[in-house]
A and B are shown apart, each in its own frame.
Chain A
Amino acid sequence: MILSNANIFSQWLESTSGLGYVLVLILIAALYLGFFAVAGLMLVLMERRVAGFFQLRLGPNRVGPWGLFQTIADALKLVSKEIFIPKQADKFLYKAGYYIVIIAALIGIGVIPFSRQIQGFDINVGIFFITAVSSVGVLGILFGAWGSRNKYSLIGAMRSGLQMVSYELSAGFAVVTVVLMAGSLKMTEIVEAQQSTWFLFKGHLPAIIAFMIFIIAGTAESNRVPFDLVEGESELGAGFHTEYSGMGFAYFFLAEFINMFIIAALTSTLFLGGWLAPFGITDGLPAQWFWGMFWFFLKTGVIIFLLMWFRWTFPRLRIDQLLTLEWKYLLPVGLVNTVVMALFVWKDWLIDLGKIFGS
């Protein structure tokens, strides 16, 4: 039973030293890796089931109860497949591609607090760190595409680079809007600042605009429909992973879903109060670490579902429409929105439910 509010992992690390310290580090890493491998598979399954229901189908439901083992079977199949490397490929870059993509995705997860007590590591520039690391993933995509010597891959990866450079800006401005309210870049402090009111409601108008900008930019950053020009099945084959097979392909696929999870987790942390229960309804209960995770994953799940809803509703943008949306709409709106939020914070025009109801 964990009663204190301290981080479980750091408590665990402090209790050991020397070789044990390294072992515990490896154990925590393995825990994260295992959890997110399974979570990634489950997200793929969820995507397919949700897609099925959106398209008047049932989706995969034959393997195991409700098709739960479908993606596990798919992963086993991918493991058993030959890893095919094109003759002309630059083997180092070709292989480096998927490692960079998956490592960048997994590093980002380390900073996200699942609960007050469960977080990989809590650094004082948490949100900045995630923004920085998640941009490294595009490097892997570019490496892989360049290494595989396929013009379709390269076109896809170049689009991805363009998209990432563009949308990183407005995502950054949306994050800055939240940081203005929180007064900190530390993930736990951002969540703690939402104790009385979630930032989506506390900052009312500018926060809602920032939320929308962040969701749009996040969809673009995780290369999902309607911004999936990177893959663009109809024009580029499969885009940057055209030449990949077996586990190389699986890594790219998993990284895509982990990136989606990161975007959803960030949205729930920044705007929806992360692990905090709505109106503190589970605050008095035992096992707070569990309830924190419960609320965190519930909120993240809702955002993930929203992203899936986008995916099965909106058509893919053309590249010029993509850039118009970013440079002519999202970025100016985001800029003005940040200034407006600064004004609101300065004049204290925020809605604080704690003050209103005097709890």
Chain B
Amino acid sequence: MNYFKKIAIAIKTLLQGMSVTGHYFFPNILKRKYVITRQYPDEPPVVFERFKGEVVMWHNENNEHRCTGCQACEIACPNGSIEIIWKREPDPETGKRKKMIDKHIYHLGMCTSCSLCIQACPTNAIMWSTNFHAATYDRSTLTKVLNRPGSKLMAGVEE
């Protein structure tokens, strides 16, 4: 009797499996109900808010950033993807010579997206952007300067 029981179980489980796949197939062919493929150039892709594309520096409308040039991110980076070239120049308001960034250089090609620089930043100057168009024909274009030309420190960040 075990023999026929096995056959019955086999048929039942096979039908069960087919009903599972059929449950996906028929709504898909009629309405594309469960299809999760996005046809990228035609349809905009779904990018999640927390997607780690590349590190960017936030600038406000007056071309001011929040980076004080403390180099915490450069120290935190495990593989040297961040280099900060800093300078000492007199502050236009107080006249004191002050440390500020000249170039915040970020090597996207080396970055492992570990987020350690962003966690290390005391002033929340750098953050992740969701830009995923990182493909390029030339490796040198992956080396980016994060602070915009002519930008300066936002007032009140250092307090």
State the A residues within 8 Å of B (CB).
50, 52-58, 309-310, 312-314, 329, 333
Contact = CB atoms under 8 A, between A and B. Distances in A.
Contact of B21 (A54, A329, A333): A54
Interface residues of B, number: 18
Given A309-B21, A309-B25, A56 B36 contact: yes
A57 B38 CA distance: 9
Between A50, A52, A56, A333, the greatest number of chain B beta carbons within 10 A of the residue's beta carbon is seen for: A56
B33 to A, nearest CB: 10
Given A53-B28, A329-B7, A313 B35 contact: no
Closest 3 CB pairs of A and B: A53-B28, A313-B21, A58-B37
Interface stretch (B12-20, B64-72, B104-112, B129-137): B12-20
B51 interface: no
Interface in B15-47: 17-18, 20-22, 24-25, 28-29, 32, 34-37, 39
A314 B14 contact: yes
A313 B18 contact: yes
Given A309-B18, A313-B17, A314-B17, A50 B35 contact: no
Contacts of B35: 53, 56-58
20 contacts: A52-B37, A53-B24, A53-B25, A53-B28, A53-B29, A53-B35, A54-B24, A54-B28, A55-B24, A58-B35, A58-B39, A309-B18, A309-B21, A309-B22, A309-B25, A310-B18, A313-B17, A313-B18, A329-B6, A333-B7
Q: What's the dominant secondary structure at chain B's contact region?
A: helix
Contact of A57 (B18, B29, B37): B37
A204 to B, nearest CB: 17
A56 B37 contact: yes
Contacts of B39: 58
Contacts of A56: 24, 28, 34-37
A55 B20 CA distance: 11
A86 to B, nearest CB: 37
A313 B20 contact: yes
B43 to A, nearest CB: 11
Contacts of B34: 56
A333 B3 CA distance: 11
Given A56-B36, A57-B36, A312-B21, 8 more contacts: A50-B25, A53-B24, A54-B24, A56-B35, A56-B37, A58-B32, A58-B35, A309-B18
